[in-house]
Amino acid sequence: MSKIIHTQKAPAAVGPYSQAVEANGMLFISGQIPINPETGKIVDGGIVEQTEQVMKNIEAILNEAGYKFSDVIKSTCLLSDMANFASMNEVYGKYYQTNPPARAAFAVKGLPLAAMVEIETIAVKS
């Protein structure tokens, strides 16, 4: 049985999908882009500010579902330009200082709303 997870502290879905779905002790968070949930707009700034907002959105969804960053086992990072990888990685690393999850990172042709970064996350309750 699955449960739809939704919080006002993260941006609403911009399409026919849920912020996250929990099933069998696992949480699947849809790709988060750097939308500020209070304004509904992409945050100002570059890759550092955008990655920080993405991680805040992920944190809000994790918290809503009763998970934490230490429960994350896999992330997929999508970048509009691999030249931003090092800066994204620096911000991302602040959230996973010990036992970081498995991860993949890709450059893609484009992201929704011209975002520079999108990150999807899978977490499992310990």
Q: Is the pLDDT of residue 126 over 80?
A: no
Going by their DSSP bridges, the two strands 26-32 and 41-42 should be labelled as: unpaired
DSSP string, 41-105: EEPSSSHHHHHHHHHHHHHHHHHHHT--GGGEEEEEEEES-GGGHHHHHHHHHHH-SSSPPEEEE
Residue 94: the pLDDT is 98
CA distance 118 to 94: 17
Amino acid identity of residue 29, one-letter, is: I
**What phi and psi, each to the nearest 5 degrees, are found at residue 21?**
-130, 135
Residue 96: the pLDDT is 98
- In which band, very low, low, confident or very high, does the pLDDT at 14 lie, cut at 50, 70 and 90? confident
Of the chain, the percentage scoring pLDDT greater than 70 comes to 100
Residue 1: the pLDDT is 87
Domain count, the chain: 1
Residues 111 and 42: beta-carbon distance below 8 Å: no
- Which whole number is the average pLDDT over 12-19? 92
Residue pLDDT, tens place only, 34-88: 999 999 999 999 999 999 999 999 999 999 999 999 999 999 999 999 999 999 9
Residue 118: the pLDDT is 98
* CATH number of domain containing 77: 3.30.1330.40
Instruction: Residue 6: give the domain boundaries.
Output: 2-124
- In which band, very low, low, confident or very high, does the pLDDT at 10 lie, cut at 50, 70 and 90? very high
